[in-house]
Amino acid sequence: MTPTFRLGTVDDVAAIADIEAVVFSDPWSADSFVSMVHAPNAELTVAAEGGRVLGYSVLLLAPPDADLANLAVVSYARRQGIGRRLLDHAVQVARDAGVIHMYLEVRQSNTRAIAMYERAGFRDFGTRKRYYRDPVEDARVMRLDL
C-alpha cells in the first residue's frame, strides 16, 4: 500500500469514526473529529489510498508542548508502516511549530504501540491511573524531547 498523507476534512470524519469505533473500546465521537478539523490548535492527518481512509492521527499543539491525542490504522492495513509514518508526520508538525516536548498516553497493554513509540524516541514520563475505561486500565504517559 502506498497511501498519501494529508489534512483530514469533514468528508473524512465518517470513515475516521468507523475506524475509531473498531480500534478503541471507548471511541471518540464523530463530532469530536469534526471539532478537530476546525480547531486552530489541532492537526487531523489522514493516510488515504484510492479514496479510502486507512489511518489518522490527531495532534494537539500548545507550544512549547504538544499531545498526540489519537492515532489509529484500520486493521487490514496494519504492520505496513502507516502508523509510524503518521507518527513521524506528527513529530515533524510539532517540530515546525516550535514544540519542545511531545506527549502521548497509551494503554499499558498496548505493547505494539509502545514499541513503535519507543523506536521513535518516546520515553516513559509517568502513569495515569485508571485513565482508560472499558476495560479500566492505566495509561503510560510517554514524552519525546524535540
Active-site residue set: 105, 117
The string of DSSP codes covering 26-59 is SPPPHHHHHHHHH-TTEEEEEEEETTEEEEEEEE
CB 108 within 8 Å of CB 142: no
- H-helix or E-strand containing 21? helix 13-23
Cell of 91: 513529530
